[in-house]
Amino acid sequence: MIINCPFCSIDEDKTRIIEEKERIVVILSSPSLMPGHILVIPKRHIEKISELNPDERADLFDTAIEYHKKIIERFSKGCDMRQHYRPFLAQSDVKVDHVHIHLLPRENEDELYQKSMQFERDMWQRPDEIELQKFVELFGK
């Protein structure tokens, strides 16, 4: 447990806990990007997904999938799942150095799309030969 980590010691006055399991806690994100924005968090403080032990991996992804299913059954047509690792950013109220998965309810051209993601479309491009060679060498066998 890390002092000053909001996910190691969840403030129940400020944070709505949806479910608590043996190794996982599910909360409503606060602040949130959109209504129904949920965070699935392993209880143990780790910063990278590679540090999850096998039980935590299974519980984290099983719980994320369980809530992904609930969101699309009960709330919205779509749901994004995100996980970030950005050690170059300081911890803040929107960046916490404790592994968590975001579940974001999505609709066609919703507010998140209108305000941010539509600009991603212009960035999509086919990798060139140099990039292909570089990343095959980096990540290949």
Q: Is 2 in the site for Zn ion (CB under 5 A)?
A: yes
Q: What is the DSSP annotation of the chain?
A: --TT-TTTS--TTT--EEEE-SSEEEEE-SS-SSTT-EEEEESS--SSGGG--HHHHHHHHHHHHHHHHHHHHHT-SEEEEE----TTSPPBTTB-SS--EEEEEE-TT-HHHHHTGGGGGGG-----HHHHHHHHHHH--
Q: Which of 85, 135 has the CB closer to Zn ion?
A: 85
How many chain residues interact with Zn ion (CB under 5 A)? 6
Under rule CB under 5 A, which residues in 92-131 are in contact with Zn ion? Answer: 98
Q: Which of 7, 67 has the CB closer to Zn ion?
A: 7
Q: Is 46 in the site for Zn ion (CB under 5 A)?
A: no
User: Rounded to the nearest whole angstrom, what is the least distance from the CB of residue 21 to Zn ion in the complex?
Assistant: 16
Q: Which of 45, 70 has the CB closer to Zn ion?
A: 45
User: Rounded to the nearest whole angstrom, what is the least distance from the CB of residue 5 to Zn ion in the complex?
Assistant: 3
Q: Is 45 in the site for Zn ion (CB under 5 A)?
A: yes
User: Rounded to the nearest whole angstrom, what is the least distance from the CB of residue 112 to Zn ion in the complex?
Assistant: 26
For residue 31, cis peptide bond before it (omega within 30 degrees of 0): yes
Contact 38, 103 (CB under 8 A): yes
User: Rounded to the nearest whole angstrom, what is the least distance from the CB of residue 106 to Zn ion in the complex?
Assistant: 27
Residues that bind Zn ion (CB under 5 A): 2, 5, 7-8, 45, 98
